[in-house]
Amino acid sequence: MAGIGATAACAPAAGPATPAPTAEPGNGPSTGAGLQPAPASRAPRPVANVSDIPVGGGRVFPDLRVVLTQPARGEFHGFSIVCTHDGCELNAVADGTIDCPCHGSRYAITDGSVVRGPARTGLRTYPVAVDGDEIVLL
Ligand code: FES
């Protein structure tokens, strides 16, 4: 079975320490802010099990530089982990948003659009598909 979806998400965060901005290795399609390249991969690769992504939420995969969300059952989206405001790594998904710990930007889990600034542009989206029980980054 295969389902395809691509989105972005963000979550609010506010912390005393500002994580260092990050850049993503690799390259790929961009549909969001476009500050960072897509994860370094050209061939489809499994990144998570479907059961790893909560319905109505998502999960950050720091090692893979990707945030996967599932706004509705069976609807999966992939987003860059890099905040479009100043490049910090997004670190949480909560209450329908993907959150940045640096200055509190939040992005919608449905499409990566900005829900709360200071970010002004949405997250870069990565195409994903479901292959059996696995979510594959295309
Ligand atoms: S770097 Fe994310 S809100 Fe500033």
CB 84 within 8 A of CB 119: yes
- Number of domains present in the structure of the chain: 1
Dump the DSSP string for 18-66.
-PPP----SB----S--SSPPPB-SS-EEEEEGGGS-TTEEEEEGGGTE
Which positions ≥6 away from 20 have C-beta within 8 Å? 88
- Ligand 1: residue whose CA is nearest its atom 4: 103
Closest atom, ligand 1, to C-alpha of 13: 3
The predicted-structure confidence for 1-17, as pLDDT tens digits, reads as follows 344 444 433 333 433 34
Is a pLDDT exceeding 90 seen at residue 62?
A: yes
For a mutational test of ligand 1's pocket, the pick from 98, 100, 114, 120, i.e. the residue with the most ligand atoms closer than 8 A to its C-beta, is 100
Residue with the smallest CA separation from ligand 1 atom 1 is: 86
Q: Which among 63, 73, 56, 64 has a CA at the least distance from the CA of 9?
A: 56
> What's the pLDDT at 42?
66
d(CA 4, CA 2): 7
Mutation test of ligand 1: which of 24, 80, 85, 89 has the most ligand atoms closer than 8 Å to its C-beta?
85
The C-alpha angle with vertex 109 and arms to 137 and 70, in degrees rounded to 5, equals 60
**Residue 80, domain CATH:** 2.102.10.10
- Residue range 75-102: average pLDDT? 97
Confidence class for position 44, pLDDT limits 50, 70, 90: confident
Q: Alpha-carbon distance 51 to 84, whole Å?
A: 28
In tens, the pLDDT along 101-137 reads: 999 999 999 999 999 999 999 999 999 999 999 999 9
pTM of the model: 0.73
Gap between the Cα atoms of 53 and 27, Å rounded: 24
Is the Cβ atom of 93 under 6 angstroms away from ligand 1?
no
Q: Which domain holds residue 104?
A: 4-137
The CA distance from 20 to 128, in Å, is: 27
Confidence of residue 38 (pLDDT cuts 50, 70, 90): low
